[in-house]
Structure 1
Amino acid sequence: MELQPHFELMASYNQWMNTKVYDAASRLTTAELNEERGAFFGSIFGTLNHVVVADTIWLKRFAAHPASSARTLAVIVDLPAPQRLDELMFDDLEGLKAHRRWLDTVIINWVGALTDDDLSTTLSYHNTKGVASKRRYSSLILHFFNHQAHHRGQASTLFSQAGVDIGVTDLLALIPEEVEI
């Protein structure tokens, strides 16, 4: 089974959903975005910031991989490495939103460059606590997209509690209908 088209779909879904989430965030005040809501990362803003933190950590790991596609992540290498999963990389929505849009474009370009050879390799890395791991590259990319979806689901609930409907969130909305020939 060829995985790259599935990762391209996930990258498109990621970008589509992030646009919807940040549009929803723009409808709230700064106080509402930062209100403690009992979520793992506290607020809507904290949750959105966490996804950017985690994406940055993973993209920096992927950029260090010897896979040919990693060259497309050279723009990530010089970003500051987050030290904590709850670190605030931006303290305002507009800065976070602009960075999110940029990250989504980087992700789409990187995924578009993935090859079957890249996906069949392993990636050696250290987690944020310094523990070494070596795992299948394709499985880590799957985790990368699943992590984003997980926290956007949390954000969706927080938006709902704040009275903001972000609309359809299903991946199904981006899967094209098959036409019989």
Structure 2
Amino acid sequence: MNRTEHISLMATYNQWMNLKIYEAARELSDEALLADRGAFFGSIIGTLNHLTLGDRVWLKRFAQHPAGYAALTPLSTLDTPQRLDRLAFANIRELQAHRAWLDQVILDWAQAISEPHLDQRLRYHNMQGVAAEKNFYSLVTHFFNHQTHHRGQVTTLLTQAGRDVGDTDLIGLVE
């Protein structure tokens, strides 16, 4: 498997896992989703919001890549979050709809990446406004790792709330 195939696999894994997580989350009441469970972002909905806003920040940065990914153009109509700990979506239904849209954008973007793009450097500003420049492939790897990290937290919170997400292993998608 080459790097672009791996990125497409990770985009597919992202969508697959989000479908499972949101299905389990929709079984809980709004109150249960908003309950502070002692996680870094407080609640299940807080953690899901963080993940969605973080993805938006990174995808908007990736849209600045010299390759000019057309799949990321729809993000230009969205604001760039100033904070990643706010509730942009207070209910699971709105958040799930946005997440499904965003996951399709990620899939389309992942399929548009070519090997030479991955070796380029990307200039961007972090959340504090500090300029940075890093290898694009490393940033894409971080993007997917960040998703996996926080979905693991959400899976734990859902389990504590009595909801089973089921199999979460990437191996379930590998042939």
TM-score tier, shorter chain, comes to: over 0.9
State the Cα deviation string for residues 139-178 of structure 1 (Å, max 9, x = none): 10010000000000000100111011100000010001xx
Counterpart of 2:5, as a letter, is P
Which residue does 2:139 correspond to in 1?
A: 140
Counterpart of 1:109, as a letter, is D
State the Cα deviation string for residues 101-150 of structure 1 (Å, max 9, x = none): 00000000000000111111010001001111100001100100000000
In angstroms, what is the RMSD of aligned CA positions? 0.9
Tell me the distance in 2 between the aligned counterparts of 1:49 and 1:118. 29
Tell me the distance in 2 between the aligned counterparts of 1:138 and 1:107. 15
Gaps (5+ residues) in structure 2?
none
Which residue does 1:12 correspond to in 2?
A: 12
The alignment covers a number of residue pairs equal to 175
Counterpart of 2:22, as a letter, is Y
Aligned to 1:133, the other structure's residue is in SS state strand
Tell me the distance in 1 between the aligned counterparts of 2:93 and 2:50. 16
Tell me the distance in 2 between the aligned counterparts of 1:71 and 1:87. 28
Gaps (5+ residues) in structure 1?
177-181
Tell me the distance in 1 between the aligned counterparts of 2:113 and 2:129. 27
Which residue does 2:112 correspond to in 1?
A: 113
Tell me the distance in 2 between the aligned counterparts of 1:19 and 1:96. 12
Counterpart of 1:4, as a letter, is T
Which residue does 1:34 correspond to in 2?
A: 34
Tell me the distance in 2 between the aligned counterparts of 1:144 and 1:14. 11
Under a length normalisation based on structure 2, what TM-score does the superposition of the two structures give?
A: 0.98
Residue identity (%): 53
Alignment of structure 1 residues 82-121 onto 2, 5 Å:
82-121=81-120
Counterpart of 1:36, as a letter, is D
